[in-house]
Copies of this chain bind each other. A is one copy, B any other.
C-alpha cells in the first residue's frame, strides 16, 4: 500500500509557483489558492500581472465563479525558492521561462508539466534532475476573456506520473496528485502517463495541425472524404517515434480512437488551440512539439518522417505568412 509522504502542514507550508498566468495557469492558481495553498503566479505579460495585482483572478468554472488574489511576479521579482513549480507556459516558451526562473529552483524543487505535446522532458532535464520531474496531461480547458478573467470547462481531470521509475519518485508523484486534489482538480496517478501523452499528441498532431492548415474545425475535417487517408500516415509516424521513445502505440488502435474523438459533439465544432493561435490571433504555434517533435525523434534515429516534417514546415510557412514579424 502507498504511504502518504507529506502531511497537511507540509503542504500548506510549501512554496508553489504556477509559471504562466494565462487561462490554465489562472484556473490552477485560483483553485489551489482556494484550498489554502501558498500559490504564486509568474509571468512576463505585464497587462495580466497588473490586472491580477489590482483585482485578483476571476474565473467562471462552468456554472460557478471563483475569485483569488495570489501574489503575481515578473520572473526576476520572484525570490523565494520553489518547492513546486506547475508549468503553464506555451511549449515554445518553456525553455525561455525555465531560464528566467532557474534562480528559484532548489535541488529538491519538483516540477509538474501538463503541457500538450512532446519532448518537454528533454528541456526540463536541462534545469533539474529527472527524479524531480512529473509529467502528465489534463483535460481541464480554459480561455482568457480579458486580463484577469478566465472561463473554464466545468470539470476536468489530470493524469500524473513520475518520470524516473523509482519508489521514491512514485511516492512523490502520489503526493503531488493529493496536492492537486486539494484544489478539486481531479488528479489521478497514472501507471502509463507517457502513453496518454503520446495518444493526446496524436489527437493534437492531427486535429490541430490539419484544422490550422485547412482553416476549418474538426467537423470540417470529418466532412472531407479524404481525411482518413491523411490521418493514417501521420499516426504511423507518431507510432514509430513513440516506439523509439519506449511507448507502445498501435497505429490502428489510435486511428479508431481518433475516429471516436473526432466525432465527439463537444469537440467537433470547436476550433483547436493551434487554429486559435495562428489563424485567429496570428501567434506562433506549438507545431515543433507535435509533428515537429516526431520528425526530430525519427531523424535522430536516422529515419525519415516525411509527412510530419512536411506538415511542420507547412505550418511554419503559414506562420511566416500570417504573423507580422
Q: Is A307 an interface residue (CB 8 A)?
A: yes
What residues of chain B lie closer than 8 Å to A213, measured between beta carbons?
213, 314
Q: Is A122 an interface residue (CB 8 A)?
A: no
Q: Report the minimum CB–CB distance from A161 to chain B (whole Å).
A: 33
A224-B316, A317-B221 are contacts. A310–B216 as well, Cβ < 8 Å? no
Contact in complex: B313, A214 (CB < 8 Å): no
Interface-located stretch among A86-94, A104-112, A194-202, A226-234: A226-234
What residues of chain B lie closer than 8 Å to A77, measured between beta carbons?
none
**Interchain CB contact (< 8 A) of A233 among B221, B309, B316:** B309
Q: Is A225 an interface residue (CB 8 A)?
A: yes
Q: How large is the interface on A (under 10, 10 to 19, 20 to 34, 35 or more residues)?
A: 20 to 34
User: A residues touching B (Cβ–Cβ < 8 Å)?
Assistant: 210, 213-214, 216, 220-221, 223-227, 229-230, 233, 306-307, 309-311, 313-314, 316-318, 320-321
What residues of chain B lie closer than 8 Å to A216, measured between beta carbons?
321
Contact in complex: B233, A314 (CB < 8 Å): no
What residues of chain B lie closer than 8 Å to A221, measured between beta carbons?
317
Considering residues A216, A229, A317, which has the most beta carbons from chain B within 10 angstroms of its beta carbon? Answer: A317
Contact in complex: B320, A223 (CB < 8 Å): yes
What residues of chain B lie closer than 8 Å to A225, measured between beta carbons?
320
Contact in complex: B313, A310 (CB < 8 Å): no
